[in-house]
Structure 1
Amino acid sequence: MRSRLESDPANPAGSAVTETPDAARVPSVQTIQALSDRMLEGVLLYGADSRLLYANPSAHALCRECYPRDLASGLSLEQLLPLDALVQARASGRWNGHLSFGQDAILMVHLYFDQNEGGHFLVVMQDLRQIRFYEQDLLRRHAELNVRLTAAQEKLLQAEKLASIGQLAAGVAHEINNPIGYVHSNLGSLQEYLHSLFALIEAYERALRSADPRAMIPEIDQTRSRLDIDFISRDLPQLMTESREGIERVTRIVRDLKDFSRSERDESWKLVDIHAGLESTLNIIWNELKYNTTLEKRYGTLPPVECLPSELNQVFMNVLINAGQALGERGTIRVETGHEDDHVWVEIADSGPGIPPEAQQRIFDPFFTTKPVGKGTGLGLSISYGIVAKHHGRIDVDSRIGEGSRFRIVLPVRQPQPAA
């Protein structure tokens, strides 16, 4: 039934008048039966005298599997359900319960009673094995989804790593090119020094082969003076030291790049020195910072921390680069570390203009960035937040307009053990 308001000369106030719905809209008994025949749940309709009036195919199958007698042979309501179920249904209109059978068969049963038209019982049965099958299938699909999600997260993390290195590629190339350049120059000087030394050695050999070696001393002295052997003897050790330092510089940058870009699949949890990770990260990005940054380091005493080193290095790099970009033409970045109870913290503060309050609420959202188009992906801080959360830590942000920003990364010294 439904009601509507309508104007009527006898009812000017427009009171509610009921109308009978269109008979064509009411499903027929045949339609309801056709729908129940498609149900996976068993549906049975009994009269008040326990006489079976209707059963759908699923009900026939369940009763045939679980009961000694099937519905076709006259399975009564009292044989189908416990007596207390019928009593409770008559009293309250419904009963719910589970019926156990052999071979782990359990039926979840809902019994409803309506006393109109002489009284009828409606029984709805469901095989719990089927529910368990659906649950297992759902768990399997959930596990597959987790695997795909984890793989996607790994790809996103690796892509962001490579994007970060790509943004720093010019600076890293410059940092590598400088030592390579003076090592190459030193090798040219070394080649000239060797020619001079070989010439001096040849002069000594001639003197040794002559009848009067002492007579050759003036010639040897002239050769030493002409080739400036005294300068070579002073410059050669310095040249070799510079060259060695240059090669070590290149080796260190390449090693740091390799550690930074390592995939998560190639890395395991290990105890590492956080300060070494900070220095490694600063070594990679220094060319990005050195032109506008005064760097202050205040390192405390830290124990070895259980972590994924390359992922933490990416967090440090993202925060440091953001701090450097916030400085503008010139400013200060302070890197400070400390140890409190069973946690360590790394604080990176800048003297930039600060982050507006409305932006602070969104800085860890994926793809949110205050940088111009093309200057950032908006994933750096979001990925950093995820990495720190993965380490069971947190990132605290304190920023005031005109006073700069401070990011404190708090990490447990040891990762919590999973519950048994």
Structure 2
Amino acid sequence: MPAAFPNPTPSLPSPALLQALLAPVREGLLLFTDDDSVILANPAVEALLATGPASGAGPAQRLRALLPPDAMAVARREGQWSGSLVMGEAVVTAQLYHHRDQGAGYYLGLFRRVEGQEDYERELQQRHAELRQAYLRLNGAQEKLLQSEKMASIGQLAAGVAHEINNPIGYVHSNLGSLQEYLRSLFTVIEAYERALRAPDPKTLIPEIDDIRDRLDIDFISRDLPQLMAESREGIERVTRIVRDLKDFSYSGRDESWKLVDLHSGLESTINIIWNELKYKVELHREFGQLPLVECLPSELNQVYMNLLLNAGHAIAERGVITVRTGVEGEHVWVEFQDSGGGISPELRQRIFDPFFTTKPVGSGTGLGLSISYSIINKHNGRIDLDSTPGVGSTFRIVLPIKQPR
């Protein structure tokens, strides 16, 4: 049996050997640590980095000056980053890899100069495709976030909407009970008249008919019946209006197109939906001006109105006033929501439009309402202005173009 010979362990190549092997490589290679200590750099990367900023610094520092601010953080978090860099007059594709070993971090950078018009165009097309995919993902996430916040808001208002619907349904149900009694009384009188018509001498039954009319209070029924029917019709119309407003408000807007609409109609439907949240502590004033039809996405603007009205209501501790104003300034219209609440301190005003920032207790606010409202108004090429005085109240003004720029 032949003797077993162990495989010899190969020794690691020396840095000088690695430098010699990498010298003819046209792609740049840079290996360095988290503290910018360079382990390996071939001549190609030295030549590329020599044309960049901070030319007096080491290769790792010069590379940091060329990379986007988040490139190294992405490489640490995800293990790699890729992109394009401008080094002097050259466009360079860059891949940056990160690895941790025994508590130390190492970066490996690979760089290839884009040469020739075809390579340059191919690189541009690839980056354009990547940017488009990122945009589509971001846009999809924004739509989902918008719809999620809208439905969460409707969920919070569901009890109030149910209460608003129950009130008219309650008195319509009661009126139907009264109507049933009225019809029974009227049919009794009709039957008495029919018996009188069939009698040989109808006049003899007139006292009986009069007695029935008095006992059933037919005169009152004749006066109350039209009022009862009008009240029931009003209740049904109120329920129909609430359901229609809720349906319009909850529409996702994915296929909604830009259209010319009356902003006052959207304001009224939004107030109608959320009124149960406000009516117990808020006195609402309307100071509407004459507005032209405005080109917008009405369902998204309705959500902005709801967010601002609910925030105004939450800013009022016990009793207060909310004033909704509208007006026109040149080629723009404005909608203003003023409350008599506690106001917003100067240090908080800089953060109120930040996503997930909220001053409400934990569990009672998502911190997305104003952020989404800001995005919607920005999408409409408008702006939101804030004027607030602590202890006096706040005023949010939405400014929108009448016609969207083409």
- Superposition TM-score tier, normalisation by shorter sequence: 0.7 to 0.9
- Matched positions, count: 313
Structure 1 counterpart of 2:167, one-letter code: N
- Asked if 1 retains the 8 angstrom alpha-carbon contact of 2:114 and 2:120, the reply is no
Deviation, 1:125, is: 8.1
Deviation, 1:127, is: 3.9
Structure 2: segments with no counterpart, 5+ residues: 1-12, 29-87, 91-112
Residue in 2 that maps onto 1:113: none
Residue in 2 that maps onto 1:140: 129
Deviation, 1:24, is: 3.5
Residue in 1 that maps onto 2:193: 204
Structure 2 counterpart of 1:240, one-letter code: M
Q: 1:312 aligns with which of 301, 308, 313?
A: 301
Q: 2:259 aligns with which of 270, 273, 281?
A: 270
Mapped pair 1:151 → 2:140: yes
Q: 1:25 aligns with which of 15, 19, 23?
A: 15
Distance 1:213 1:328 in 2: 71
Alignment of 1:232-247 (within 5 A): 232-247=221-236
Structure 1 counterpart of 2:304, one-letter code: V
Residue in 2 that maps onto 1:8: none
TM-score in terms of structure 1 length: 0.72
Distance 1:280 1:311 in 2: 13
Residue in 1 that maps onto 2:270: 281
Distance 2:243 2:183 in 1: 31
**DSSP 3-state at the match of 2:171:** helix
Alignment of 1:2-401 (within 5 A): 24-28=14-18, 30-32=20-22, 35-36=25-26, 126-401=115-390
Deviations 1:29-63 (A, max 9, x none): 65126744x78xxxxxxxxxxxxxxxxxxxxxxxx
Distance 2:244 2:147 in 1: 17
Deviation, 1:141, is: 2.2
Residue in 2 that maps onto 1:121: none
- Asked if 1 retains the 8 angstrom alpha-carbon contact of 2:258 and 2:295, the reply is yes
Per mean C-alpha deviation after superposition, the further-off stretch among 24-33 and 142-151 is: 24-33
**DSSP 3-state at the match of 1:405:** strand
Deviations 1:326-355 (A, max 9, x none): 011111111111111001111101111110
> CA RMSD, aligned part only?
2.0
Identical-pair percentage: 67
User: Taking structure 1 as reference, are residues 134 and 96 closer, same or farther at Cα in structure 2, changes over 3 Å only?
Assistant: closer
Structure 1 counterpart of 2:285, one-letter code: E
TM-score in terms of structure 2 length: 0.74
Deviations 1:9-30 (A, max 9, x none): xxxxxxxxxxxxxx93234565
Distance 2:114 2:308 in 1: 59
**DSSP 3-state at the match of 1:410:** strand
Distance 2:156 2:317 in 1: 18
Distance 1:134 1:141 in 2: 11
Distance 2:339 2:386 in 1: 12
User: Taking structure 1 as reference, are residues 296 and 96 closer, same or farther at Cα in structure 2, changes over 3 Å only?
Assistant: closer
Structure 2 counterpart of 1:204, one-letter code: Y
Deviation, 1:228, is: 1.1
User: Taking structure 1 as reference, are residues 179 and 414 closer, same or farther at Cα in structure 2, changes over 3 Å only?
Assistant: same
Distance 2:405 2:236 in 1: 41
**DSSP 3-state at the match of 2:358:** coil
Structure 1 outlier segments of 4+, above 6 Å? none
Residue in 1 that maps onto 2:401: 412
Distance 1:145 1:309 in 2: 27
Structure whose CA Rg is larger:
1
Distance 2:155 2:209 in 1: 57
